[in-house]
Amino acid sequence: MSKLLITGGAGFIGSNFIHYWLNNHPDDQIVNYDKLTYSGNLENLKDVESNKNYSFTRGDIADAKKISKALEGIDTVINFAAESHVDRSILDPAPFILTNVVGTQVLLDAARDAKVKRFHHISTDEVFGALQLDSKEKFTETTPYNPRSPYAASKAASDHLVRAYFHTYGLPVTISNCANNFGPYHYPEKLIPLAITNILEGKKVPVYGDGLYVREWLYVEDHCSGIEKVLEKGKVGETYLIGIDMDLPNIEIITKIIKLLGASDDLIEYVKDRPGHDRRYAIDAAKIKKELGWKPRYDFDEALALTVKWYQNHQDWWQKLKNKNYEDYYKKQYIIR
Query: Known catalytic residues?
Result: 125-126, 151
Number of residues that bind ligand NAD (CB under 6 A): 30
Residue 37 touches ligand NAD, criterion: CB under 6 A: yes
Q: Cβ-closest residue to ligand NAD?
A: 11
Least Cβ distance, residue 315 to ligand NAD (angstroms): 19
How far apart are the C-alpha atoms of 280 and 243, rounded to whole Å?
14
Chain positions 212 to 251 lying near ligand NAD, rule: CB under 6 A, are none
Chain positions 78 to 107 lying near ligand NAD, rule: CB under 6 A, are 80-84, 99, 103
**Quick one: which of 54, 119, 165, 187 contacts ligand NAD (CB under 6 A)?**
187
Nearer to ligand NAD, 162 or 292 (CB): 162
H-run or E-run covering 268: strand 268-271
Cβ-based neighbours of 37, under 8 Å, separated by 6 or more: 83
Binding track over 146-185 against ligand NAD, x by CB under 6 A:
---------x----------------------x-xx----
By CB atoms closer than 10 A (0-12, 13-18, 19+), residue 126 is buried
Considering only the stretches 76-84, 167-175, 256-264, 301-309, report the one whose residues sit in contact with ligand NAD under the rule CB under 6 A. Answer: 76-84
- DSSP per residue over 245-263, as a string? S--EEHHHHHHHHHHHTT-
From residue 149, give the alpha-carbon distance in Å to each of 11, 126, 152, 271: 21, 9, 5, 19
Residue 198 touches ligand NAD, criterion: CB under 6 A: no
How far apart are the C-alpha atoms of 34 and 56, rounded to whole Å?
8
Least Cβ distance, residue 259 to ligand NAD (angstroms): 23
Residue 13 touches ligand NAD, criterion: CB under 6 A: yes
Single-letter residue type at 93: P
Whether residue 31 contacts residue 318, with contact meaning beta carbons closer than 8 Å, is answered with no
- DSSP per residue over 277-296, as a string? ---B--B--HHHHHHH----
Considering only the stretches 2-10, 261-269, 275-283, 309-317, report the one whose residues sit in contact with ligand NAD under the rule CB under 6 A. Answer: 2-10
Nearer to ligand NAD, 267 or 321 (CB): 321
**Quick one: which of 4, 5, 6, 7 contacts ligand NAD (CB under 6 A)?**
7
H-run or E-run covering 6: strand 3-7
Of residues 161, 169, 55, 196, the one with CA closest to residue 114: 169
Residues of this chain that interact with ligand NAD (CB under 6 A) are 7-8, 10-14, 34-37, 39-40, 60-62, 80-84, 99, 103, 122, 124, 155, 178, 180-181, 187
